[in-house]
């Protein structure tokens, strides 16, 4: 006799899974002649089928991080390459294994790519001075670190970036988060969940370049054998920075803004419109804005209304929480003092898994 779980897995196999995404430069960087510091990429071997991988990176963008745009691109490449190699076996890994093996291998791959880039494009004297000065200041507060780690940090520091990677397999969603950004899931009943809420975050952005960064990162493993998510959103912090999170839940804003579009339009049409939509959104924060969307069962999505807890009188509420852009606001300014005055602490929140 066929079991309930077997029939559910077969039903999941019939769902067409799609990924779309885009990244746009924010007004601040456009006005300054600075390139987009974000990057996005995804992998899906068989169109419409699981497994799939989505990665979003946000280069820190300040003058100290002169190569962060390149660092974000290399982070996405490293993540997709590493996860693709292990995607068939990671379903059996624990969260500890994801952190200590998969994430650390991604970081190693990223640093290898940096070394390759530096071979053809060495740091300028000014870049080397800036990086060495910061790294020496950092290590003056951290005892017992060897010279190899110091040299490695100096080389990777200008490439500093955050990274989020979501891997969806037939039974598990794996989520890795280094630094900030947002991961939002719409469940089968229409409820909306933010995987790593901001109030449980460490408070400071700890990028890929930092020594032992894996210990300061968030890892989540969610079993979805019987109930796949309808939609997964992954965004850089340029999206959420455009809203006042004290008034309304950001996860519900994202879900509301895109749910009806996914219900009523072809995914290819949403992909075509996404750059313009994100350009409008970026006006609130002034920052580069990136969004990736994993779309599951379209039939179920069409028949499932969202369950929203904080948005009442939607249109008026959305308008009231948009942050008015400040004149010449630097969206990178909050990232310039990364962890200088605090010892890094690992977030106690491990997601929903």
Query: How far lies 86's CA from each of 83, 97, 105, 170, in Å?
Result: 5, 12, 11, 15
Q: Is residue 187 within 8 Å of residue 229, measured between CB atoms? A: yes
Q: Is residue 238 within 8 Å of residue 287, measured between CB atoms? A: yes
Q: Residue 79 and residue 35: Cα distance in Å, rounded? A: 22
pLDDT of amino acid 247: 64
Instruction: Note down pLDDT in tens along the chain; length 353 residues.
Output: 333 344 444 545 688 999 999 999 999 998 988 899 999 999 999 999 999 999 999 999 888 899 999 999 999 999 999 999 999 888 888 999 999 999 999 999 999 999 999 999 999 999 999 999 999 888 887 756 678 889 999 999 999 999 999 999 999 999 999 999 999 999 999 999 999 886 544 446 889 999 989 998 999 999 888 788 999 999 999 998 887 666 678 899 999 999 999 999 999 999 999 999 999 999 888 999 999 999 999 999 999 999 987 765 544 444 444 444 444 555 554 443 333 323 332 222 233 33
Closest to 240 measured CA to CA, from 322, 315, 311, 325: 322
Tokens 């790294």 appear where? 135
Phi-psi domain of 93 (left: phi exceeds 0; alpha: psi -120 through 50; beta: other): beta
| Residue 347 DSSP code | -
Q: Residue 291 and residue 183: Cα distance in Å, rounded? A: 10
Half-sphere exposure of residue 54: CA atoms within 13 angstroms, side-chain side: 26
Q: Residue 191 and residue 308: Cα distance in Å, rounded? A: 7
Q: Is residue 68 within 8 Å of residue 49, measured between CB atoms? A: no
90 alpha carbon, distance to own chain's centre: 19
Give the global pTM: 0.86
Closest to 104 measured CA to CA, from 215, 220, 221, 236: 215
Q: Residue 96 and residue 8: Cα distance in Å, rounded? A: 28
pLDDT of amino acid 208: 96
Domain boundaries, the chain: 4-322
How many residues in the chain?
353
- Composition of the chain by helix, strand, coil, percent to 5: 45, 20, 35
The CATH code of the domain at 4-322 is: 3.60.40.10
Q: Residue 190 and residue 252: Cα distance in Å, rounded? A: 11
Q: Residue 25 and residue 30: Cα distance in Å, rounded? A: 7
Tokens of 76: 């996405």
Neighbours of 193 (CB within 10 A): 17
For helices 104-120 and 147-156, the axis angle rounded to 10 degrees is: 70
């Amino acid at each position: 006799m066929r079991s309930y779980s077997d029939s559910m897995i077969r039903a999941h196999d019939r769902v067409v899974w799609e990924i779309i995404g885009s990244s746009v430069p924010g007004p601040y960087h456009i006005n300054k002649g600075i390139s987009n510091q974000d990057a996005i990429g995804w992998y899906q071997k068989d169109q419409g089928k699981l497994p799939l991988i989505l990665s979003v990176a946000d280069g820190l963008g300040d003058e100290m991080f002169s190569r962060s745009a390149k660092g974000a691109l290399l982070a996405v490449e490293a993540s997709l390459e590493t996860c693709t190699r292990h995607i068939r076996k990671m379903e059996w890994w624990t969260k500890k294994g994801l952190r200590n093996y998969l994430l650390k291998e991604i970081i190693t791959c990223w640093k290898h790519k940096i070394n390759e880039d530096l071979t053809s494009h060495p740091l300028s004297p000014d870049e080397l001075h800036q990086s060495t000065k910061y790294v020496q200041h950092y290590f003056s507060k951290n005892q017992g670190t060897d010279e190899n780690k110091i040299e490695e940090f100096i080389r990777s520091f200008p490439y500093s970036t955050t990274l989020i990677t979501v891997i969806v397999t037939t039974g598990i969603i794996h989520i890795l988060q280094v630094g900030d950004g947002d991961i939002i899931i719409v469940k089968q009943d229409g409820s909306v969940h933010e995987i790593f809420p901001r109030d449980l975050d460490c408070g400071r952005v700890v990028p890929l370049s930092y020594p032992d960064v894996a210990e300061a990162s968030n890892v989540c493993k969610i079993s979805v054998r019987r109930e796949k998510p309808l939609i997964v959103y992954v965004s850089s912090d340029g999206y959420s920075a455009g809203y006042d999170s004290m008034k309304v839940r950001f996860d519900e804003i994202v879900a509301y803004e895109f749910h009806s579009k996914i219900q009523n339009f072809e995914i290819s049409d949403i992909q075509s419109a996404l750059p313009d939509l994100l350009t409008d959104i970026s006006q609130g924060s002034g920052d580069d804005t990136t969004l990736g969307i994993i779309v599951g069962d379209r039939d179920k999505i069409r028949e499932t209304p969202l369950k929203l807890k904080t948005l009442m009188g939607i249109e008026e509420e959305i308008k009231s929480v948009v942050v008015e852009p400040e004149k010449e606001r630097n969206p990178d300014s909050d990232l310039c003092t990364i962890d200088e005055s605090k010892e890094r602490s690992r977030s106690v929140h491990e997601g929903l898994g």
